[in-house]
Amino acid sequence: MTSSFSEHRQSDQAIALDASRTAVLMIDMINDFCTPGGAMVLPGAEVLYPPQNAVMRAAREAGAPVVHIQDKHRHGMKCDREFLKRTPHCMEGEWGSAIVDELEQKPEDHYVTKRRFSGFFNTDLDLTLKDLGVDTLVVMGVVTNICVRSTVHDAFFLGYRVVVVEDGVAATGPREQASSLYDIATHFGVVSRSDSVIQSFRQGSELALVECE
């Protein structure tokens, strides 16, 4: 997949992760999206857990914060915008909005609740990151073409450097995964893999970038 429009781009600058200025964002790794019995489960989401946990471990060891972003919707709302297009899901206080058991959480982690696709829209995520002194984001979660992508867009608009972990995100299908990662790589950030991100956290090495097509 190539585009004469998208290929009018600047060369990606080399990025080495500085843990003191980097946060890991975990987007919507919750039961309704990832666990059998959830409201709208993404098939195969379980393959994300090992690389996600490995990246989070490396980040914490290096002193970088982990921020879990959870979709949670309130009962009794007259017009929840997501429910105009999607089956009701991730209701506040219910099992569906809880983070999956397989994902490693630590007491020092941070949590942000969202009610729209983007983790930044009308939440305190930007303020939290600024208070943490962060300007670079390592992004993982589901789904690539909806909530991950929306969050990445807003992160770019707000001035953050964005690194999306290819094997730490999943879309609604192969076409959507490829298209979203291509658009992110050509317009909003860079795409790398978990092993390169881990090495950068541990050794300060430059990220190996994925050539998205």
What's the pTM? 0.90
Name the active-site residue from 71, 90, 114, 212: 114
pLDDT of residue 1: 47
> Can you spell out the DSSP letters for 43-96?
TTGGGGHHHHHHHHHHHHHHT--EEEEEE-B-TT-S--GGGGTS----BTTSGG
Name the active-site residue from 32, 147, 154, 183: 147
101 a catalytic residue: no
Q: Is residue 3 part of a domain?
A: no
Q: Is residue 11 part of a domain?
A: no
Cβ atoms of 69 and 150 within 8 Å: the answer is: no
How many domains is the chain built from?
1
Q: What is the CATH number of the domain that holds 83?
A: 3.40.50.850
85 a catalytic residue: no
114 a catalytic residue: yes
Q: Is residue 143 part of a domain?
A: yes
Q: Is residue 160 part of a domain?
A: yes
pLDDT in 10s for each residue of the chain, 213 residues: 456 665 655 666 789 999 999 999 999 999 989 999 998 899 989 999 999 999 999 999 999 999 999 998 777 655 656 655 566 666 778 888 899 999 999 999 999 999 889 999 999 999 999 999 999 999 999 999 999 999 999 999 999 999 999 999 999 999 999 999 999 999 999 999 999 999 999 999 999 999 887
Tell me the residue range of the domain where 69 lies: 19-203
Q: Is residue 29 part of a domain?
A: yes
Q: Is residue 5 part of a domain?
A: no
